[in-house]
């Protein structure tokens, strides 16, 4: 479910997420988490969300959770991202997020600096040391239009990014530049009429496509199928997802199957302001 976006983390796309117009009574899971490019809408005023991943064990017609995914497991799956906890304020603004290993030990932490109910900077820590930070520039509509990623301690520019958004603030195009200002690659995203991510394409600096992701949704608006395609539009991997939900309609259990017979269970827990 999350492994689709890992190849983009080197450009800090996950942490460059943007403020968006969100439906009333919802919270957007994006900025500072492994869902930085997918913009998942959670129902209700979420205070915290915790997500953990386990191997699935057959249990009759379904599955039950087995051992937690280890770092070695995630590496073998070629990019399954970390467990995490994210914290929001009463305005639905991301406050901080922590990546967790299989023993609930912190791996990284993202902390927001918030001004006028918007994130203007995010600091990333590892082992309590500031490793890098991003700073965001917004347009007149409040949506992020550009930003920089800088190495902590020495304040060395690592990369910059320009971003285009749709009418509600969802990112439609990222152009990433190296410290010299030279383009390194571009990411384009497509959405349906409900502003749900349907396609993500990654292009090299010359505009040639490298790979793409395509998503389909179930009747509750959650991703039910995800395909990864290469530069020739051939399907290289597929994920299929089914869910269980809490009383508000947020998913608390996802069974993720891929075309290589791996089955993962993702579990979520939430706290709410109301």
Q: In the prediction, which pLDDT does 159 show? A: 93
Segment 80-109 mean pLDDT = 94
pLDDT average, residue stretch 105-110: 95
Is the CATH number 2.40.160 carried by domain 3-272? yes
The three state secondary structure string of the chain is CCHHHHHHHHHCCHHHCCCCCCCCCEEEECCCCCCCCCCEEEECCEEEEEEEEEEEEEECCEEEEEEECCHHHHHHCCCCCCEEEEEECCCCCEEEEEEECCCCCEEEEEEEEEECCEEEEEEEEECCEEEEEEEEEECCCCCEEEEEEEECCCCEEEEEEEEEECCCCCEEEEEEECCCCCEEEEEEEEECCCCCEEEEEEEECCCCEEEEEEEEECCCCCEEEEEEEECCCCEEEEEEEEEEECCCCCEEEEEEEECCCCEEEEEEEEEECC
How confident is the model at residue 218, as a pLDDT?
A: 95
The residues pairing with 136 across neighbouring beta strands, listed in sequence order, are 147
pLDDT in tens, 11-63: 444 444 455 567 778 999 988 898 876 778 899 999 999 999 999 999 998 99
The pTM for the full model equals 0.89
pLDDT score of 24: 76
Kindly tell me if the per-residue pLDDT of 111 is higher than 90: yes
Question: What pLDDT score was predicted for residue 190?
Answer: 92
User: What is the model's pLDDT at position 39?
Assistant: 76
pLDDT of 274 reads 76
How confident is the model over 215-236, as pLDDT tens digits?
999 999 999 999 999 999 999 9
Q: What is the pLDDT of residue 8?
A: 41
**Banded model confidence at residue 7, pLDDT cuts 50, 70, 90:** very low
Tens digit of each residue's pLDDT (9 = 90 or more) over 123-169: 999 999 999 999 999 888 888 899 999 999 999 999 999 999 888 88
| Per-residue pLDDT tens digits for 205-216 | 999 999 999 999
Q: What is the pLDDT of residue 182?
A: 96
């Amino acid at each position: 479910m999350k492994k689709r976006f890992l190849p983009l983390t080197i450009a800090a796309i996950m942490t460059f997420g943007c403020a968006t117009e969100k439906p009333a009574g919802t919270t957007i899971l994006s900025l500072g988490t492994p869902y930085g490019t997918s913009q998942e809408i959670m129902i209700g005023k979420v205070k915290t969300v915790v997500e953990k991943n386990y191997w699935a064990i057959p249990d009759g017609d379904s599955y039950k959770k087995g051992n937690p995914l280890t770092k070695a497991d995630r590496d073998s799956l070629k990019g399954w991202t970390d467990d995490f906890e994210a914290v929001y304020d009463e305005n639905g603004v991301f406050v901080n997020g922590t990546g967790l290993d299989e023993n609930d030990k912190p791996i990284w932490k993202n902390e927001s600096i918030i001004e006028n109910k918007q994130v203007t900077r995010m600091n990333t820590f590892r082992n309590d040391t500031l490793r890098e930070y991003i700073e965001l520039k917004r347009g007149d509509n409040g949506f992020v239009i550009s930003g920089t990623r800088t190495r902590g301690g020495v304040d060395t520019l690592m990369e910059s990014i320009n971003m285009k958004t749709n009418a509600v603030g969802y990112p439609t195009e990222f152009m990433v530049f190296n410290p010299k200002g030279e383009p390194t690659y571009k990411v384009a995203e497509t959405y349906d009429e409900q502003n749900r991510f349907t396609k993500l394409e990654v292009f090299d600096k010359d505009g040639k496509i490298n790979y793409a992701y395509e998503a389909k949704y179930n009747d509750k608006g959650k991703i039910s199928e995800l395909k990864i395609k290469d530069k020739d539009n051939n399907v290289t991997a597929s994920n299929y997802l089914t869910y269980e939900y809490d009383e508000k309609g947020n998913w608390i259990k996802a069974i993720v199957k891929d075309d290589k017979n791996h089955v993962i269970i993702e579990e979520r827990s939430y706290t709410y302001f109301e």
